């Protein structure tokens, strides 16, 4: 893929992996829209990156549809969707709170579906596109206290496989990305803290760019990015 002139929408794009992906895309000449719930941080990030700020909550159907429609209207189309918006909730089985469990699925699973559903008609119509779902190594192997979070990532993996089978015949590439430990505020640290043993968000972004640089006649269906020694 040649990035120059491509139109991309990145959810959860105001910080962490989403911001790094948006920056990597813009540096290669793509026009990028970023979507997030916190309007102040979203607009600040958009100014810094030269991106289009699209406030919204991926778990709300109207917001998801509106984000895609606005991106298409203001950028002139849509070539790449990065489903990155997500958060974590961890608890032992006997301690799982049903309300928090459902809320996690609403963002991590339903939100990804709503965004992909809104973007798919544009990809199909133009017979090209890239749909990138940011999952986790938690979607490859479960772990203690990981039931809520791992369940959402295993679900995202299953949806990705279904969408890949549906969209390949329209020349749409569907890629699942599984980062391991990453230096972001996601894990409970403040954004300024860093652990040199863990991946940086930019490394995840660079891996995604590398996969997309492959000529569009082929694609990388799944990409796992591991920290070498995070312990």
Instruction: Summarize pLDDT for 129-174 with one digit per residue, the tens.
Output: 999 999 999 999 999 999 999 999 999 999 999 999 999 999 999 9
Give the pLDDT confidence score for residue 161 in this predicted structure.
Answer: 98
149 classed as catalytic: yes
Whether residue 179 contacts residue 225, with contact meaning beta carbons closer than 8 Å, is answered with yes
Give the pLDDT confidence score for residue 121 in this predicted structure.
Answer: 98
Is pLDDT at 41 greater than 50 in this prediction? yes
Is pLDDT at 115 greater than 90 in this prediction? yes
Is pLDDT at 224 greater than 60 in this prediction? yes
In whole angstroms, what is the distance from residue 55 CA to residue 38 CA?
7
The three-state secondary structure class of 7 is strand
Is pLDDT at 66 greater than 60 in this prediction? yes
102: Cβ–Cβ under 8 A, 6 or more apart, which residues? none
**Catalytic entry in 25, 123, 149, 163:** 149
**Confidence band, pLDDT 50/70/90 cuts, at residue 193:** low
Side by side, which strands form the sheet with 222-225? Answer: 52-55, 31-36, 7-11, 80-83, 129-134, 172-179, 222-225
In whole angstroms, what is the distance from residue 73 CA to residue 67 CA?
10
> With respect to CATH, is domain 7-225 assigned 3.30.43.10?
no
Q: For residue 160, what is the enclosing H or E element?
A: helix 147-167
């Amino acid at each position: 893929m040649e990035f120059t002139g491509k139109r991309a929408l990145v959810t959860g794009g105001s910080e962490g992996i989403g911001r790094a992906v948006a920056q990597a895309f813009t540096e290669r000449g793509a026009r990028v829209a970023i979507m997030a719930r916190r309007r102040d941080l979203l607009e600040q990030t958009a100014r810094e990156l030269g991106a289009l700020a699209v406030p919204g909550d991926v778990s709300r159907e109207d917001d998801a549809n509106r984000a895609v429609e606005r991106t298409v209207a203001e950028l002139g189309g849509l070539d790449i969707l990065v489903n990155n918006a997500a958060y974590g909730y961890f608890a032992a089985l006997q301690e799982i709170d049903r309300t928090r469990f459902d809320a996690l699925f609403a963002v991590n699973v339903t939100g990804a579906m709503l965004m992909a559903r809104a973007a798919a008609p544009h990809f199909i119509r133009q017979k090209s596109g890239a749909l990138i779902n940011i999952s986790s190594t938690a979607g490859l192997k479960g772990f203690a206290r990981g039931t809520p979070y791992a369940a959402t990532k295993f679900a995202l993996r299953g949806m990705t496989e279904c969408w890949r089978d549906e969209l390949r015949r329209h020349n749409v590439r569907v890629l699942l990305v599984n980062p391991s430990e990453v230096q972001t505020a996601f894990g409970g640290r403040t954004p300024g803290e860093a652990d040199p043993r863990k991946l940086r968000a930019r490394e995840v972004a660079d891996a995604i760019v590398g996969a997309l640089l492959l000529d569009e006649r082929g694609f990388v269906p799944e990409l796992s990015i591991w920290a070498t020694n995070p312990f």
